Amino acid sequence: MALARHLASEGQTVRVADRRPAADLQTALSQMPHGVELQLGGYDSTVLEGIDVVYASPGVPWDSDLLNEARAKGIEVSSEIGLFLKLNQGTVVGITGTNGKTTTTALTGAVLSAGDRPVIVGGNIGDTVLDRVDEITPEHWVVLELSSFQLESVEKPHLHVGVILNITPDHLDRHKTLEHYADLKARAIEDADYAVLNGRDPVVRGLAQRAAGQAAWFDEHQPLPPMPLPGRHNVENALAAAAVGRIAGLSDETINNAIRNFKGVEHRLELVGEWAGVRWYNDSKATNPDAGRVALNAFPGAPVILIAGGYGSGFELADWVTDVKANTEAVILIGASADELAQALREHPKVVRAQTLDEAVSTAAGLARQGSVVLLSPAYKSFDMFKDFEDRGNQFKELVRQRFAA
C-alpha cells in the first residue's frame, strides 16, 4: 500500500499484483490510489511486461521464480525498505536479531527522543516509514526494526548504527540454513559506521569481523540501565539501546531516565493486569520456541501457568521443554501444535488441553493462586486460530479483562 501510494504520488505508473482475490483485499483496495492497475487472484510472468522495477513484499521469497525471471530480463528488483533507504535523508539506526527487535527498537526510539533531535521509529514495527519519507530531514534519527526478510532485499543497507541482538534458528523454512540466516542479519553491520553487538551470543560474536565500522559490545555497557520490564533479555535490550544512546552523544543520566520511564511494547511480556494477587502477561509475539524461552526465564521463583501452542512445525523443542519443566507449575496447550507439545511435555506434572483461548483463560484462572503468573507465550505462530499474533494477543487481553475488570 505504502509503495503504491508513494510511487503513484511521484507520477509513476503502478501495477499491483496479489495472489489473493479482490474479496479478501477490500480494506486495502479502498485506500489504493486512483489509476493503479490491479492484477488480483493470481499472476504469472506476464505481470512483468512493460515493467522497469519490481518491488517485492517481504512475504515473497527473494529467490522466487518470478523475481528471478525479472532479474534475468534486466528488471531491477527492490523492496519498500530498499526504496526508503535510498530516499531517506535521516541518520539510520537499524536493529535486527531473532528476538527482542521490537522492544529494542521502541527503547532506542525512546532513548534518542530524550535528546534534542527529532526521531522516527518504523520498519518492521508499526506504520511504514515510506509514507513519512518526505518529512524526514538530515536532523532526524530514524530507528528501524529490520527483519531477515527486509535485510535480504537490501544488499548494502548503509546504516549509521547497525545493531544485532542475538541469532537463533528462525524462518529456516525460507532461509534454509542458520548460516544463510546469519549472513542476512550481518548485512546490518557490513556497511555501517558503528556495529552494536551482543558478546554473549556466540553467533553474533562470530559476525563481528564483518563489521565495517567501530564495534561496541552492548553486554559490556556500564552503568547498567534500570530496566522496568521483567527478564534478563529486557536488560540486554536496554543495554543495546543505551549503547546507541552513547554513540548519539547522550549522557548516561539522560539514557537511564529514558529507559526507566519506558512502558514496554504491546504483545511482548505485556502486563495485562493483576487481580487477586495473580499477574496476567500477554507475550503473544513469542512466535517461536526461543522467544518462548525468553519469557519462561523472566519470572524466577514465581509459580507460572503457561498457555502455549499454535501454528508451525520443524521447531527444535528440547531447550524449550527443559525451560518449561524448570519454570512452570502448569501448562495449558492450544492450537495445531498441541498434540506434539503434549507428547514433548509428557513428563511434566500438569499439562492440560484447551480447545479455545477462552477455555485456556478459564482453566488458567482456575489453577492460579495468589502470587501466580499466568503467561500467554505460545512459542508458535498464530495462523491456525488467529489472523496474526496481534489478534491472538488482543483476544487474550479482552478475555482476561472481561473476566476480571468488571
Catalytic residue ranges: 101, 124, 171
Quote the CA–CA distance of 131 and 84 in Å, as a whole number. 9
With a CB cutoff of 8 Å and minimum separation 6, the contacts of 134 are none
With a CB cutoff of 8 Å and minimum separation 6, the contacts of 18 are 25, 39, 40, 41, 43
Residue 346: DSSP 8-state:
T
Can you give the three-state secondary structure of 179-230, one letter per residue?
HHHHHHHHHHHHCCCEEEECCCCHHHHHHHHHCCCEEEEHHHCCCCCCCCCC
Three-class secondary structure of residue 246 per DSSP = helix
CA torsion through residues 232, 235, 241, 246, sign: negative
Residue located via cell numbers 505462530:
381
Q: Are 162 and 94 in contact (CB under 8 A)?
A: yes
- At 235, give phi and psi (nearest 5°): -65, -45
Q: Are 70 and 232 in contact (CB under 8 A)?
A: no
- On the 0-12 / 13-18 / 19+ scale of CB atoms within 10 A, 333 is buried
Q: Are 93 and 159 in contact (CB under 8 A)?
A: yes
Q: How many CB atoms lie within 10 A of CB 51?
A: 13
Q: Are 210 and 164 in contact (CB under 8 A)?
A: no
